[in-house]
Amino acid sequence: MSITKEKIHEILLRATEIREHILEMTCRAKSGHPGGSMSMSDIISTLYFYWLKINPKDPSWEDRDYFVLAKGHAAPALYATLAMKGYFPLEQLKTLRQLGSDLQGHPDKHSLSGVEMSTGSLGQGLSVMVGMALALKHDQKTNRVYGLLGDGECQEGQVWEAAMAAAHFHLDNLCIFIDKNGLQIDGATKDVMNIDPLTDKFTSFGWAVFTIDGHNIHEIVSTLEQADRVMDKPVAIIADTVKGKGITFMEHQVCYHGAPITDEQLVKAKAELHVTKGTYL
């Protein structure tokens, strides 16, 4: 693996900045989903600031890679990342969930640059990714499709219909992450509807499967490199993550799945993030 320690620190710094934007946006809006947005921040930071073949100056570039956020309620993480990459002004993040804003509670591809698919109805995102990957194969294109699903989302039956189709059509240009933070709005996934053993399930459906620490940039990058070499089958990367990652009082707390922190808590959280950022500068 060729990634340097300096680049890893840059990705971690960007992930910390993404988390800061998530907290500011949802706190200002007094609504949103910070917990699951923060658990995926290291993954989306790695993708957008190191891995994906994209061009913010030309969002419709024909040879770009595609990213689909299947768990659309984690839109704050995507919005922060896209703004930091230059798809739209950072100032626009202040309009999250405001009436008339392009930054809706779930991503809308028709109103916001850089969003490849409108998502929010859980379970449907993987079907869209399969369609994208299949079309690229048909057109003999080398673009790749990446996506991110929630672990609670894997309780949806449509996910497994799409997973079966992806393997049937040998979509080795499709790579998904499962943000396995173990919590959903109603509690622990193992209590609401147990999805384990998730690795065995995807393997039995014909996928190449990797399990990683979703906050370890070295593991994320090395697994993406391995995924690139997989032939004739799609790849699922099951990422063990922490809900509310990055803020001590939010971690592993289901209450922050769909509720923002208070103004007072934001001051405390930003102070903690400031210390974290200092370790990567």
Please give, one letter per residue, the 3-state secondary structure of the chain. Answer: CCCCHHHHHHHHHHHHHHHHHHHHHHHHHCCCCHHHHHHCHHHHHHHHHHHCCCCCCCCCCCCCCEEEECCHHHHHHHHHHHHHHCCCCHHHHHHCCCCCCCCCCCCCCCCCCCCCCCCCCCCCHHHHHHHHHHHHHHCCCCCCEEEEEECHHHHCHHHHHHHHHHHHCCCCCEEEEEEECCEECCEEHHHHHCCCCHHHHHHHCCCEEEEEECCCHHHHHHHHHHHHHCCCCCEEEEEECCCCCCCCCCCCCHHHCCCCCCHHHHHHHHHHHHHHHHCCC
Q: Work out the mean pLDDT of the chain and round it to a whole number.
A: 97
Domains of the chain by residue range: 5-278
Closest CA to 112 of 176, 150, 56: 56
pLDDT at position 117: 97
Amino acid in the structure at residue 186: D
Amino acid in the structure at residue 145: V
CATH of range 5-278; options 3.40.50.11270, 3.40.50.800, 3.40.50.970, 3.40.710.10? 3.40.50.970
Q: Tell me what the mean pLDDT of segment 262-274 comes to.
A: 97
Closest CA to 234 of 104, 146, 140: 146
Nearest-10 crossing angle of helices 157-168, 125-138: 20
pLDDT at position 281: 81
pLDDT at position 116: 98
The tens digit of pLDDT for each residue in 48-62 reads 999 999 999 999 999
The tens digit of pLDDT for each residue in 217-243 reads 999 999 999 999 999 999 999 999 999
Q: Sorting pLDDT into bands at 50, 70 and 90, what band is 134? A: very high
**pLDDT-above-90 percentage for the chain:** 99
Q: Tell me what the mean pLDDT of segment 137-156 comes to.
A: 98
pLDDT at position 136: 98
Main-chain dihedrals φ then ψ at residue 205, nearest 5 degrees = -85, 0
Checking if the pLDDT of 9 tops 80, the result is yes
pLDDT at position 2: 82
**pLDDT-above-70 percentage for the chain:** 100
What's the pTM value of the predicted model, to 2 decimals? 0.98
- Count the neighbouring beta carbons within 10 Å of the beta carbon of residue 142: 9
pLDDT at position 229: 98
Checking if the pLDDT of 39 tops 80, the result is yes
* Edge-to-edge strand ranges of the sheet holding 66-69: 66-69, 145-150, 174-180, 235-240, 208-213
The tens digit of pLDDT for each residue in 149-191 reads 999 999 999 999 999 999 999 999 999 999 999 999 999 999 9
